[in-house]
Amino acid sequence: MKEDIIKRIEDTEETINNKLNDNIAIKIYNFHDRNNGMIVIRKDDKIDKTFRIKAISSCQIDIIRNNKIVENGLFIDDLAKWIYNLYNPVDYRYVFYGGYLNSKTLKSEEIKDIIIGKTPNYTEIRKTGALVHRKELDDQPIVKNYLGPMFDKIDYGIIYLRYETQEIYDMLSE
Protein backbone atom coordinates (compact mmCIF):
# COMPACT_ATOMS: atom_id res chain seq x y z
CA MET A 1 0.00 0.00 0.00
CA LYS A 2 1.00 3.57 -0.63
CA GLU A 3 1.27 4.40 3.08
CA ASP A 4 4.11 1.88 3.54
CA ILE A 5 6.41 3.20 0.83
CA ILE A 6 8.41 5.80 2.80
CA LYS A 7 9.00 3.26 5.58
CA ARG A 8 10.17 0.73 2.98
CA ILE A 9 12.61 3.29 1.55
CA GLU A 10 13.79 4.15 5.06
CA ASP A 11 14.45 0.44 5.65
CA THR A 12 16.71 0.30 2.55
CA GLU A 13 18.92 3.23 3.62
CA GLU A 14 21.88 1.02 4.56
CA THR A 15 21.64 -0.96 1.32
CA ILE A 16 21.56 2.26 -0.71
CA ASN A 17 24.57 3.65 1.16
CA ASN A 18 26.52 0.46 0.43
CA LYS A 19 25.98 1.05 -3.32
CA LEU A 20 27.27 4.64 -3.25
CA ASN A 21 30.82 5.98 -3.31
CA ASP A 22 32.57 6.24 0.07
CA ASN A 23 32.23 10.03 0.18
CA ILE A 24 28.45 9.96 -0.49
CA ALA A 25 25.84 8.93 2.07
CA ILE A 26 22.10 9.38 2.37
CA LYS A 27 19.69 9.68 5.24
CA ILE A 28 15.98 9.05 4.76
CA TYR A 29 13.51 10.92 6.95
CA ASN A 30 9.97 9.66 7.23
CA PHE A 31 7.45 12.43 7.96
CA HIS A 32 5.01 9.75 9.18
CA ASP A 33 2.11 11.23 7.25
CA ARG A 34 2.07 8.16 5.02
CA ASN A 35 3.07 9.83 1.77
CA ASN A 36 6.00 12.15 2.40
CA GLY A 37 9.60 11.99 3.44
CA MET A 38 12.98 13.52 2.73
CA ILE A 39 16.31 12.36 1.38
CA VAL A 40 19.39 14.19 2.62
CA ILE A 41 22.55 13.47 0.64
CA ARG A 42 25.86 14.14 2.29
CA LYS A 43 29.04 14.49 0.27
CA ASP A 44 32.37 14.66 2.06
CA ASP A 45 30.49 14.87 5.40
CA LYS A 46 28.55 18.00 4.37
CA ILE A 47 24.93 18.26 3.27
CA ASP A 48 25.06 18.46 -0.51
CA LYS A 49 21.44 18.00 -1.63
CA THR A 50 18.03 17.55 -0.08
CA PHE A 51 14.93 16.23 -1.81
CA ARG A 52 11.38 15.75 -0.67
CA ILE A 53 9.94 12.38 -1.64
CA LYS A 54 6.26 11.82 -2.16
CA ALA A 55 4.63 8.42 -2.59
CA ILE A 56 2.46 8.29 -5.70
CA SER A 57 1.75 4.55 -5.69
CA SER A 58 2.73 1.46 -3.78
CA CYS A 59 6.08 1.32 -5.57
CA GLN A 60 6.72 4.76 -7.10
CA ILE A 61 7.74 8.16 -5.79
CA ASP A 62 8.13 11.68 -7.03
CA ILE A 63 11.38 13.39 -6.05
CA ILE A 64 10.90 17.09 -5.43
CA ARG A 65 13.36 19.92 -5.00
CA ASN A 66 12.40 23.57 -4.49
CA ASN A 67 8.73 22.63 -4.95
CA LYS A 68 9.41 21.22 -8.43
CA ILE A 69 9.32 17.58 -9.40
CA VAL A 70 12.79 16.57 -10.55
CA GLU A 71 11.92 12.91 -11.00
CA ASN A 72 8.40 11.71 -11.65
CA GLY A 73 7.28 8.17 -10.96
CA LEU A 74 10.66 6.73 -9.94
CA PHE A 75 10.34 3.10 -8.93
CA ILE A 76 11.71 2.74 -5.41
CA ASP A 77 13.92 -0.13 -6.57
CA ASP A 78 15.71 2.41 -8.79
CA LEU A 79 16.35 5.01 -6.06
CA ALA A 80 19.94 3.88 -5.34
CA LYS A 81 20.72 3.95 -9.08
CA TRP A 82 19.19 7.42 -9.42
CA ILE A 83 21.30 8.77 -6.54
CA TYR A 84 24.42 7.00 -7.85
CA ASN A 85 23.91 8.66 -11.26
CA LEU A 86 23.71 12.11 -9.66
CA TYR A 87 27.37 11.79 -8.66
CA ASN A 88 28.90 9.65 -11.37
CA PRO A 89 29.29 9.87 -15.14
CA VAL A 90 26.36 8.38 -17.00
CA ASP A 91 26.56 6.60 -20.32
CA TYR A 92 23.68 5.69 -22.58
CA ARG A 93 22.69 2.43 -24.22
CA TYR A 94 20.29 2.39 -27.13
CA VAL A 95 18.05 -0.69 -27.33
CA PHE A 96 16.26 -1.46 -30.61
CA TYR A 97 13.06 -3.40 -31.20
CA GLY A 98 12.03 -4.34 -34.72
CA GLY A 99 13.60 -3.41 -38.03
CA TYR A 100 17.16 -3.98 -39.13
CA LEU A 101 18.55 -3.31 -35.62
CA ASN A 102 16.16 -5.65 -33.82
CA SER A 103 17.49 -6.91 -30.47
CA LYS A 104 20.66 -4.81 -30.69
CA THR A 105 21.93 -2.68 -27.83
CA LEU A 106 24.36 -0.04 -29.03
CA LYS A 107 26.73 2.25 -27.15
CA SER A 108 27.02 5.97 -27.86
CA GLU A 109 30.00 5.55 -30.18
CA GLU A 110 28.26 2.75 -32.13
CA ILE A 111 25.12 4.75 -32.92
CA LYS A 112 26.78 7.90 -34.30
CA ASP A 113 26.73 6.75 -37.95
CA ILE A 114 22.96 6.11 -38.03
CA ILE A 115 21.75 9.32 -36.37
CA ILE A 116 19.48 11.57 -38.47
CA GLY A 117 18.94 14.20 -35.80
CA LYS A 118 18.71 14.89 -32.09
CA THR A 119 15.81 15.40 -29.71
CA PRO A 120 15.20 18.90 -28.34
CA ASN A 121 16.78 20.04 -25.10
CA TYR A 122 14.08 21.24 -22.72
CA THR A 123 16.31 22.20 -19.79
CA GLU A 124 15.20 25.83 -19.73
CA ILE A 125 11.51 25.01 -20.23
CA ARG A 126 11.72 22.38 -17.48
CA LYS A 127 12.96 25.08 -15.06
CA THR A 128 9.63 26.89 -15.47
CA GLY A 129 7.81 23.81 -14.21
CA ALA A 130 6.44 22.82 -17.62
CA LEU A 131 5.90 19.11 -18.16
CA VAL A 132 8.00 17.96 -21.09
CA HIS A 133 9.90 14.76 -21.81
CA ARG A 134 12.32 13.35 -19.24
CA LYS A 135 15.70 15.06 -18.95
CA GLU A 136 17.39 11.81 -20.05
CA LEU A 137 15.76 12.31 -23.46
CA ASP A 138 17.31 15.74 -24.09
CA ASP A 139 19.79 15.83 -27.01
CA GLN A 140 19.41 12.14 -27.78
CA PRO A 141 19.78 10.52 -31.21
CA ILE A 142 16.89 10.16 -33.61
CA VAL A 143 17.26 7.10 -35.86
CA LYS A 144 15.53 6.73 -39.26
CA ASN A 145 12.63 4.23 -39.33
CA TYR A 146 12.44 4.10 -35.52
CA LEU A 147 10.20 5.81 -33.00
CA GLY A 148 11.94 7.15 -30.00
CA PRO A 149 13.94 7.56 -28.04
CA MET A 150 11.83 6.46 -25.09
CA PHE A 151 13.10 6.02 -21.55
CA ASP A 152 13.53 2.31 -20.88
CA LYS A 153 15.37 1.83 -17.57
CA ILE A 154 18.11 3.10 -15.32
CA ASP A 155 21.16 1.29 -13.98
CA TYR A 156 24.30 2.28 -12.11
CA GLY A 157 26.05 4.66 -14.50
CA ILE A 158 23.84 3.69 -17.47
CA ILE A 159 20.56 4.98 -18.88
CA TYR A 160 18.82 2.71 -21.38
CA LEU A 161 16.77 4.30 -24.14
CA ARG A 162 14.37 2.32 -26.28
CA TYR A 163 13.72 2.62 -30.01
CA GLU A 164 10.84 0.79 -31.70
CA THR A 165 9.56 0.47 -35.22
CA GLN A 166 5.97 1.61 -35.75
CA GLU A 167 4.98 -2.05 -36.15
CA ILE A 168 6.41 -3.02 -32.75
CA TYR A 169 4.88 0.04 -31.11
CA ASP A 170 1.45 -0.83 -32.53
CA MET A 171 1.74 -4.45 -31.35
CA LEU A 172 2.70 -3.36 -27.84
CA SER A 173 -0.07 -0.76 -27.73
CA GLU A 174 -2.89 -3.21 -28.42
**Interval 101-116 mean pLDDT:** 94
| pTM for the predicted model, two decimal places | 0.84
Average pLDDT, the chain: 91
Give yes or no: residues 83 and 136 share one domain: no
Using the predicted structure, report yes or no on whether residue 53 has a pLDDT greater than 80.
yes
Q: Are residues 7 and 80 in the same domain?
A: yes
Could you tell me which residues come within 8 angstroms of residue 107 by beta carbon, excluding any fewer than 6 positions away? Answer: 91, 92, 93, 94
Q: How confident is the model at residue 1 (pLDDT cuts 50, 70, 90)?
A: very low
For residues 96 and 27, state if they share a domain.
Answer: no
pLDDT value for 93: 97
| Domain match, 76 and 41 both | yes
Of the residues 53, 87, 121, the one at which a domain ends: 87
Instruction: Give yes or no: residues 95 and 82 share one domain.
Output: no
Q: Which domain holds residue 63?
A: 2-87
Residues 96 and 151 in one domain: yes
Q: Are 121 and 166 found together in one domain?
A: yes
pLDDT band per the 50, 70, 90 thresholds, residue 99:
very high
Phi and psi based region of residue 51 (left: phi greater than 0; alpha: psi -120 to 50; beta: remaining): beta
User: Quick one: pLDDT at residue 7?
Assistant: 85
- Output the DSSP codes for 46-74: EEEEEEEEEE-SSSEEEEEETTEEEEEEE
Mean pLDDT (whole number) for 122-130: 82
Q: How many distinct structural domains can be found in the chain? A: 2
